Amino acid sequence: MRKLFAIIQREYLTRVKTKGFVIGTLLMPVFIVFITIAPAAFMAMKSEEPRHIALVDLTKQVYDPLSETLDERTKTGERIYQLHLVAARSDRFEEVKNNLKADINQKKIDAYLIIHQDVFETNNVEYHSTNVSNFRENSEIERAISRVVTKLRLERSGFVPDEVNHLVQSVKLNTFKIGPGGKEQKDVGLSFAITYIMVFVLYLALILYGAMTMRSIVEDKNNRVIEVIISAVKPFHLMAGKILGIGAVGLTQFFIWAAVAGFLSLYSSNLVASFLPSAGDVPLPSVSLSQLIFFVLFFILGFFFYSTLYAGIGALVNSDQEAQQLQWPVISFLIVAFLLVFYTMSNPDSNLSILFSVLPMFSPILMFMRISVHTPPTAQVAAAVIILILSVWAMIWFVARIFRIGILMYGKRPNLPEVVKWVKHG
């Protein structure tokens, strides 16, 4: 047992003391916060540069109401969208367009709009500019013109626009998530983002730490260190030591990340409000203690399941190139599980979701997803955990027999019949 702990200590300390571990551990929470807040922050940023837009209004009805509608201003009170009416006759239309193109090239204006006479029937207007990739600007102009054209249509038909707008006003769906014990929390969809990030981290961690176990064995084989180690410890203890040592590295990072997630969950409203004052009224989801516990539990069980497979691959191959080729069947299980995340999230109680969430190769990701979205019956969670534990035990028995012989094999990679013989006689 002392030798086993020595291997665990070696695998753990050689990785925890590296700069990569420290940097990765510190940067991951920063990265998660960044990808959560940054998109909303960037979307909320508005250009303070006025936009000079020439407007060719062939209907002679849109310019005035559009100027009133596009009334967004900078902090200094200057209009952002400054419309300049351009007179145009049908017989000189192309000449006017050429003049406007020249004005754009000479930077006298930023863009020009053409509103044709048949806009009330076709719903089409033209926007010409050197940059048409500002989707926020395009959307604002499109919505403003739509409101003006719709209002003019209603007036033409004899309706009162304000009354019609009130009658056709959309219904807003307020969503409330019911948690354990009947506690309700308003949820505008942000819990999806939190759950998706946690599942994505779990997916990456299983691949990363499993592959780390495989590379550790391949490196020891290539350096012939494995022969020295095997002379002092049993092959099973070596495999167990590497798996437990690298698993402890992952748990160390997860406990640090869990502490950060707990802190952010407690003070998320204040943090978001400091970055995005406009989001102060948005109810932010929190990460519950049970969610963190299941996150760690399924990481541990999933790690043992997949790292055992990776350890067997490391024992079979002689180089990183061979390892990369042979690990794809293992990675495929994780990819399929990740692809099923969206279906499981939308249909957590479907027969397909239940089936896949209890299968050991998928349950670390899919059962955690179901627990986070809509807590399944206790019997299903217990079944997934028990089946995963039994599968881990079976994989350790199976891979240990391969590991016992393959760890000292060099040269040609064994074929499937040879591996079967190792299992029989290991």
Confidence band of 234 (pLDDT split at 50, 70, 90): confident
CA neighbor of 337 nearest in space, from 306, 308, 312: 306
Contact between residue 33 and residue 268 where contact means Cβ atoms under 8 Å apart: no
Cβ count within 10 A of residue 110: 19
Adjacency order of strands within the sheet including 51-57: 81-85, 51-57, 111-115, 126-129
Helix (H, G, I), strand (E, B) or coil at 156: helix
Query: Are the beta carbons of 58 and 117 closer than 8 angstroms?
Result: yes
Residue 418 parent element (H or E)? helix 416-425
Angle at CA of residue 231, ends 230 and 232, nearest 5°: 90
80: pLDDT strictly greater than 50: yes
pLDDT of 137 over the 80 cut: yes
Confidence of residue 358 (pLDDT cuts 50, 70, 90): very high
SS3 per residue for 97-155: HHHHHHHHHCCCCCEEEEECCCHHHHCCCEEEECCCCCHHHHHHHHHHHHHHHHHHHHH
Q: Region 4-21: what's the mean pLDDT?
A: 81
| CB within 8 Å of 208: residues ≥ 6 apart | none
Cross-strand partners of 419: none
Residue among 311, 300, 204, 196 nearest 252 (CA) = 300
Rounded-to-integer distance, Cα 66 and Cα 275, Å? 33
CA–CA gap between residue 371 and residue 134 (Å, rounded): 40
Looking at per-residue pLDDT, the higher value among 16 and 142 belongs to 142
Mean of all residue pLDDT scores within the chain: 78
Is-contact 302 364, C-beta < 8 A?
yes
Backbone angles phi, psi at 350, to 5 degrees: -75, 160
Domains of the chain: 2-41+185-425 (no CATH), 48-167 (3.40.190.10)
Q: Give the model confidence (pLDDT) of 379-420 as tens digits.
A: 999 999 999 999 988 888 888 777 777 776 766 667 677 777
Report residue 264 as tokens.
């952010």
pTM: 0.63
| Average pLDDT of the segment spanning 90-107 | 84
For residue 128, give Cα distances in angstroms to 98, 149, 288: 12, 19, 51
What is the Cα–Cα distance from 426 to 423, expressed in whole angstroms? Answer: 5
Is a pLDDT exceeding 70 seen at residue 343? yes
